[in-house]
Amino acid sequence: MKKKRFYIALLIFLIAIGVVFYALKGEKDAVGYKTVKVERGAIASTVLASGTVNPVVLVSVGSQVSGTIEKIYVDFNSRVEKGQIIAQIDPAVFQAEVEKARANHKSALANLDQKQAQVTDAKRTFERYRELMKNDLVAQSDVDTAETTYQSASASFRAAEAAVLQAKAALNLAESNLQYTTIRSPVNGIVVSRNVDAGQTVAASFQAPVLFTIAKDLTKMQVDTSVDEADIGVTKPGQRATFTVDAYPSETFAGKVLQVRNAAQVAQNVVTYDVIVSVDNPSLKLRPGMTANVSILIDERSNVIKIPTAALRFTPPEGERKKSVRETPKGPLVWKLHPDNRLEPVAVKLGIANSQHAELLKGNIAEGDLLATETLSTGKKSEANKSPRFRPF
């Protein structure tokens, strides 16, 4: 019985020694850090944006007259030349209007000839009466009447001249409307969309309906991107740009910033500006409407010390900061890890940067140095690893 109690007491003693040992060990655990090695190489600063691929020139072809579509001569993806007939509106009504206007014009011309004859006769009578008046062969009242008749005939002649011009204008309008029934392509290009079918009625009373959309040249495209106001200050025409589209995820297309527009676009209190990127499309892989993920190259450097951005965001625990240095330098800094697991804060001056690295301009950092980016274990974590104390309800 005494032996059994002895073994039990010995077991309890060993357990207590183990608990104290692991507790003391947890309190004295050294802090570990995740690090990255400083490298030398090239770095580029870019602006990221999204946009839509569009043709440089996209022409909407409409109709200036109303009527029924009689024939359609082109379809989607049809190549067209400038002046080529692409659709025909039924011209019967407009042809009748032309004939009516032409008849009115001829009638006005005939009326003008009649008025010209009346003017000639009235002038001849007036001049005859005026000569007879000199020899007192007619009364003054007859001369006055002849003069009035001549002036009235002249006025009627001028009115007939105006009527001729009016009839001519109506004829020109009717002929123009007749020509508008033949829809022609205004440019050389490719039909991107067709919005009508034969037999469909188009109404152009308030605005010209769009019948076709024609891209002038699909070998020259542009990407209309939206750049955030925070990045628009460094975006300039002439900068190189690359982008990808979902249709070809493994292929990168190259372009150049063509224009930075000043008109701001505001959506949900977010301000963006339109930036146009020009791109050659000789293989016609890019199609209108594709979504592009654009990267605009702002600046680049080669053979420079690169500081990981994760190291710039790192801050060690307060206790470790006090052990490393009494007063932390101001401004951007990184924490260099020495072989003895000691952290040293190093103030740095940075140049261009991107989402992964920043260029080191000044600072006691060399290629191959280890910079802390994350704390792996702390004293608090060790305390958390201790067995919780029992608390009664």
- The pair of three-digit structure tokens given for residue 7, joined into one six-digit string: 């073994």
Q: Measuring CA to CA, which residue among 338, 362, 346, 342 is closest to residue 311?
A: 346
| Confidence (pLDDT) at 1 | 55
What is the pLDDT at residue 376? Answer: 82
Low-confidence ranges of the chain (pLDDT < 50): 20, 23-28, 379-393
Q: What is the DSSP letter of 364?
A: S
Say what the pLDDT of residue 28 is: 46
pLDDT tens by residue, 61-95: 999 999 999 999 999 999 999 999 999 999 999 99
| Stated pTM of the model | 0.67
**pLDDT value, residue 300:** 92
- Best CA proximity match to 223, nearest among 205, 201, 211, 241: 241
DSSP code of 234?
A: G
pLDDT digits over 4-62, tens only?
Answer: 565 566 566 666 666 545 544 444 455 688 899 999 999 999 999 999 999 999 999 99
Residues 163 and 171: beta-carbon distance below 8 Å: no
Give the pLDDT confidence score for residue 99 in this predicted structure. Answer: 96
In whole angstroms, what is the distance from residue 180 CA to residue 102 CA?
18
Residue 264 Cα distances to 224, 238, 270, 274, 367, angstroms = 14, 21, 10, 8, 44
Residue 144: which H helix or E strand, with range? helix 140-180
CA–CA separation, 206 vs 212, rounded Å? 18
List the domains of the chain with CATH numbers. 29-44+305-381 (2.40.420.20), 47-56+220-300 (2.40.30.170), 63-90+181-216 (2.40.50.100), 93-174 (1.10.287.470)
